[in-house]
Amino acid sequence: MRRNPRLKLRKIGKMYMIVDSQSGAANLTNVYQLNETAATLWQRVGEEHFTTEQAAQILVEEYDVELAEAQRDVEQLLERWREFGLIISE
């Protein structure tokens, strides 16, 4: 899977938001708010393809969390991201 390339992460104050920037200007019709952990994951997976395991490993590296817990959290997060079209399964 990979991030939807039309979407960009923006930080506004202490909030992280994902907006659609397909036309060069931000489309604020659908704005998705992320917490700091989700925003870190979004940034670290980058534009390339990634697996659930790679995403979980990012959380293990960034935060003091066990791999099993990171995998559960990542699976839940990625499922929501899929539902909203934030990531593309290929």
**24-71, pLDDT tens digit by residue?**
555 556 789 999 999 999 999 988 999 999 999 999 999 999 999 999
What is the per-residue pLDDT across 67-77, written as a single tens digit (0 to 9) for each?
999 999 999 99
Could you tell me the CATH number of the domain that includes residue 9? Answer: 3.90.930
Q: SS3 sequence, the chain?
A: CEECCCEEEEEECCEEEEEECCCCCCEEEEEEEECHHHHHHHHHHCCCCCCHHHHHHHHHHHCCCCHHHHHHHHHHHHHHHHHCCCEECC
State how many domains the chain has. 1
Question: What is the mean predicted confidence (pLDDT) over 21-26?
Answer: 61
The band of 22, judged by pLDDT with boundaries at 50, 70 and 90, is low
Full residue range of the structural domain in which residue 16 is found:
2-88
Q: What is the pLDDT of residue 10?
A: 92
Answer whether 32's CB lies under 8 Å from 84's CB. yes
Q: What is the pLDDT of residue 28?
A: 59
